[in-house]
Every structure is written in C-alpha cells, then in structure tokens.
Structure 1
C-alpha cells in the first residue's frame, strides 16, 4: 500500500475552514469539491495513457490520451457523492459507478453493502474510490475487495482525512495482489470511543446533505 498525504498551504487552509463547525453546508460542499480537485491531480499521476497522432494549427505531432478501458470513479454512498464533482472536473471522460456501504455499528470494522451500480467486469480498469473519511478502515477494505471481486487490480482511494488506526487496518488487511494507493489531505490524531476521527470534521454526510433520521 502506498500512502500520500498532501502537503500544500492551500490544502491546509481549505481543510481548516472545512473542519470549522460554523462552516455552512453550502461552503462545506464547495470546499470538499475543491480539495478533491487538488487531490485528483496527484491521484491520477499514474493514469495510463497512449499515443495519439493529431495535427495542431502548425504541424502534426503525437500527443497522449487516456487509455481504454476508461478509468472508473466509484463514490462510496452517501458522503462520497460530495467528492464526485471534484473528480469528474479533472477526469470528465471517466465512467462513474456507485457503491453503497455503511458501518455495522456493533462491529465498526465490518460493513454492510446496500447498493451497487458497477460494471460486472472491471478487469484492466483503473479504479478511483472516493470517500471523505478513512476512520476504522473497514469501509475502504471492503469496497476495495468488492472491486477486486469484479476483476479490479489497480485501485486508488481518495479521502479527505484519515485516522492512524484506519491506515494501519488497511495496510494489514488489503489484498497484497491489488495495486493499492491512498491519497489524503491530512492524517488526524486518532479515533474516539465511537470510532469517529478526532479532531476530524464531524459526520461528512450530515455536513454535506443534512441530518437524516
């Protein structure tokens, strides 16, 4: 597993405003999108490309274009939806799938899958999982293995913040046969007794879309 933590003044500034409990949902959503756009630049550094002959107004040349099959972006519902705009802004030609998972509150590292809108075969596809929080790591491991069952061998996870416990869990439990990378804006102190990231930013889904009872 490869972990990349962004180190940039713009990321630190935007992350601070994002964390502030007084930041309204409208600004929170915009900041998430902006941060993901910055992360996407690094997360796609190893994107596969092929040669493409073209003609400029001046002369012919051989440029580069994203290889096929096209990469796929997979938001983990529901909070991952808030990151989708930032990713598609950088990769408008990518396909989008959806994966619904939620934490089993009695077993924090175990997940319940409740929705799936993905191709049956992901062989040869570069997959980008997006989920704001890497807390216990259970969701990320389960989602990655779900993609692997469909043939995915190259997965990059993009999260806003992570906890050390979650990073460790992913390192210890991810299938080593998968080429796996995690890109985050920051790594926090740890988890509290409810498995929430501290200092964190609260429930990302609730702050993006409001509380659902």
Structure 2
C-alpha cells in the first residue's frame, strides 16, 4: 500500500491542520467544519493528479481549445457523522461525483471495551470506478477496515483512495496489515505516534464529530 503524508511537505495544508488542532480555534464549530472542508479540497486536488484524463475539445468564443478532463468521475464515500465536512470538501472539487454514506460507530461493553458496529450503507455501483473513502480520524483503523470491506461487497473498484486527516501510527500499521489489495492508496494529513488505551490519538485534535456538530448522548 502506497502512503502519502501531506504534512511531510510545506504547504498551506499545514496551516489548516494547525487550526483544526488548536483548542481555541476549535471553539468555533463553523470554522472547524470549514477547515475540514478545505482540507478535503486539498486532498482532492492532490488525488486528482493520480487520476486518468482524456482530451476534450472545448468551444470558446474564439475557437477550439483542447483540454485534459477527467476520464471518469470518482465515487466519494464517507463514514458518518464526522466525515461529512471532509466529504463536502472533496465534493466541491469532484462536483459531478457519485456519493456513498456509511454508518459505523464504536459500541462499548460494560468493561469499557469497544468494537466497531456497522449499521448502514448507501452506495452506487462502484465497479471499475475510482473510490475515495474518507474518515477524518484514523485511530485504531478498525472503522476504515470495516467500511472498506463493506464497500467491496458492492463492486470491484479500479482503485481505492483511503483519506484521513489525522492518523495514529498504530492505525496506519493496522490498515496496511488488514487491507492488502494492491489497488489501495492511503492519504493522511499527519501521523501521530501515540494513542490512548481508549484509542484516542495523541496529540490528535479530540472528537471530530463533536467539534463539528456538537456533543452527542452516547446511547450505545
């Protein structure tokens, strides 16, 4: 699996990473959501460089211009609910893309241990298409694995791009070990070395879903 870590090069991308981590800036949910969206737009731009293009004749008022355009629109998939702003960022760039939505969450037992519960999937056919599967936080890696395998039940894509803004080292290693298909690429915004016993990334940024949409009652 090829891995791209966008924080390894200097760009405006890192400015947005710093802002979503900053606890003072996080107090503004609108700005937090918009920063997730902007990061999605930058991920989309970088991924677009790897896609296939065809030359189209575009009629202008003064003649014909030959312009490379996407050969095929991708399918964008995200894990609810934290993934929605990130998904919107990719959709701003790939504005003709089809979309898929996955419901998966941590279900805790009486001892405080959890497993990933998969509930729902709405997706178009992904056969022979490029799939981009996004989740802002790649902590243990289990959510990404389960969502990837659920999507693979709906077709055989040409290529899969997994996208996470903040990943733990353990999560990256887990995904590499459990998703072994050769047509998968992992894109991350930063990799943090530590993770708590409850699988929260350190320093991370906290709960992306709560920061974007407000705290939730844990009924699971």
TM norm structure 1 = 0.90
Name the CA distance, whole Å, in 1 between partners of 2:46 and 2:119.
30
2:16 matched to which residue of 1? 14
Once residues 150 and 53 of structure 2 are traced to their aligned partners in structure 1, the CA distance between those partners, rounded to angstroms, is: 26
Residues 1:201 and 2:205 are matched in the alignment:
yes
SS in 2 for 1:62: strand
Q: Distance in 1 between matches of 2:153 and 2:43?
A: 26
Partner of 2:3: 3
Q: Does 1:135 align with 2:139?
A: yes
Does 1:147 pair with 2:151?
Answer: yes
What is the distance in 1 between the residues matched to 2:206 and 2:24? 12
> Partner of 2:12: helix, strand, or coil?
helix
1:100 pairs with 2:115: no
Structure 1 residue runs of 5 or longer lacking an equivalent are none
Q: 2 CA distance for matches of 1:57 and 1:3?
A: 43
Determine whether 1:169 maps to 2:174.
yes
Matched, 1:84 2:103: no
Q: State the Cα distance separating 1:61 from its structure 2 match.
A: 4.2
- Determine the structure 2 residue equivalent to 1:112: 117
Shift of 1:192: 0.7
Q: 1:159 aligns with which of 161, 164, 171?
A: 164
* 1:142-166 deviation per Cα after TM superposition (whole angstroms, max 9, x unaligned): 1112222212331101111100000
Moved over 4 A (4+): none
> 2: CA distance between counterparts of 1:19 and 1:204?
10
TM-score (norm 2): 0.88
Closer, same or farther: CA 10–61 of 1 in aligned 2, 3 Å: closer
Describe how 1:16-95 pairs up with structure 2 within 5 A. 16-23=18-25, 24-68=28-72, 70-95=73-98
Q: Would you say how many aligned residue pairs link Structure 1 and Structure 2? A: 209
Give CA deviations for 1:61-103 in whole Å, capped at 9, x if unaligned.
Answer: 43322224x3111111011112122111111111111111113
Aligned mates of 1:48, 1:113 — CA distance in 2: 32
Q: 1:111, CA displacement in angstroms?
A: 2.3
Conserved in 2, the CA contact under 8 Å of 1:33 and 1:82? yes
Could you tell me how far apart the structure 2 residues matched to 1:181 and 1:10 are? 22
Does the 8 Å contact 1:49/1:64 carry over to 2? Answer: yes
Shift of 1:55: 2.8
Cα distance in 1 between the residues matched to 2:155 and 2:104:
19
